[in-house]
Structure 1
Amino acid sequence: MPLQIAVLIMAAGASTRMKGIKQLMPWKDSNFLLETIKTVQKCHVLNITIVLGSNAELISNQCQLNDLDVHVITNTNWAEGLGNSIAHAVKVKLQQQETYDGILICLADQPLLSHEYLNKVINEFEKHPEKIIGTNYGKRVGVPALFPKIYFSELSKLKGDSGAKLFLNKQSESIISLQANKQIIDIDTNAEYEQLMAHTNKTKI
């Protein structure tokens, strides 16, 4: 029987370093958030949850999330940071008393992320279901990362803006780190967005 995996797509931040709402920035056929959802929907997962915070109602309405096969969690304390939003979402999932073998955490601002890479993470987890499967960032490990259920309680206690990074890097002996190369690029500023679009348009020529 395949392992039961839930996905949290983190989209709660205010994108203060960008002019505009990062989750809604145009990308491919729609925007960052919707394209991330499309990517995850191609993966072998049981449940997809979008974690919103800043501009939650606007994002939900513009992306028509209620019409998609996803769950939506809104963290009213999103300003306390990514760690707080992860903790809030995991608490909600635990309260729902649904059974998952693992939770895969992704970001909505990594537009180059592919479903092939996410399935690679999932396949590695199925071989080593007691391990955290993380993504190599050189000197550290980050998301996308897939956590087995023995870590759900600790995830529900995360705080601050570092997300799962500090937690991941304390668990080095329990992690298998995979290479995602340029897929780990995240977009935080308008300059980075313009570079992304320029490179994308250039490669289409």
Structure 2
Amino acid sequence: MLIRSDIITASRHDIDQEFPALILAAGASRRFGRPKALLALSEGDGRKRTLLDCAIGQGRLLSRDVRVVCGAWYPLVRFRCRMQPSRWVPVADWNEGVATSLAAGIRSVGPRAKGVFVLVADQPLLDKEALRAFGEAARCFPGLPAAADYGRRPGVPAYLPRWLWPEVLALEGDRGAGSVLAKAKATRLNIPGVHEDIDTPEDWARIREALSRIGLQARQFPD
């Protein structure tokens, strides 16, 4: 039984190396006025987690190898988080835009990666069962790009297979991988909660109220 357990563990580790998850959290949160990643979310037991803790929990639904791409508020966010990722990826030129952060995240992964999952830190209402299904679909078809369906466009959460990386690395400024995913005709998946992101204090008040109704622990964190 011990040998069998070791085999299963090794297999899982291999999968993590092949499918790491990147959380893009390098921005300055200028529209919000303070670091969104450190916004506090209350759990049912009275404990508090940050918005970035929540995003790391989402990443763990996709992979055990979760990397946080950080910049403007690093290392403060590192010390305030209760959940720690597999790796922090600081970006010195984070202010050049999301394309720089995405490139830094991709360059941080090893040669065995078949693709990367990409999430952002301000979508705490993502449905965890839909995320799990998204992760399993990417593993079944590792060469196919996939992304959340936003109606007219694909967006995060997204899965970028390795063959798409050169196009993603060529992006500049405040451009994410949406245009690359659209050009590649990425498979679009329904992930409830993608439209509920946090840009302003008004967004945060509305989403915090929604979280208090549904319960953060039941909604987001791995069992």
Structure 2 residue aligned with 1:54: 72
Are positions 1:155 and 2:173 aligned together? no
Conserved? CA contact 2:69–2:104, under 8 Å: no
Conserved? CA contact 1:40–1:115, under 8 Å: no
Are positions 1:88 and 2:117 aligned together? no
The aligned runs of 1:1-205 (5 Å cut-off) are: 3=15, 4-28=18-42, 29-43=48-62, 45-63=63-81, 68-93=84-109, 97-172=110-185, 175-202=186-213
Over the residues paired in the alignment, what is the CA RMSD in angstroms?
2.0
**SS at structure 1 position matched to 2:20:** strand
Distance 1:184 1:190, change over 3 A: same
Unaligned runs of 5+ in 1: none
Normalising to structure 1: TM-score of the pair?
Answer: 0.86
Q: CA deviation at 1:82?
A: 0.9
Q: CA deviation at 1:184?
A: 3.7
Q: CA deviation at 1:118?
A: 2.0
**SS at structure 2 position matched to 1:73:** strand
The number of equivalent residue pairs is: 196
Which of structures 1 and 2 has the bigger CA Rg?
Answer: 2
Distance 1:199 1:117, change over 3 A: same
Mapped partners of 1:184, 1:120: distance in 2: 18
Normalising to structure 2: TM-score of the pair?
Answer: 0.80
Identity between Structure 1 and Structure 2 (%): 27
Conserved? CA contact 2:25–2:68, under 8 Å: yes
Conserved? CA contact 1:86–1:158, under 8 Å: no
**SS at structure 1 position matched to 2:124:** coil
Unaligned runs of 5+ in 2: 1-10, 43-47, 216-223
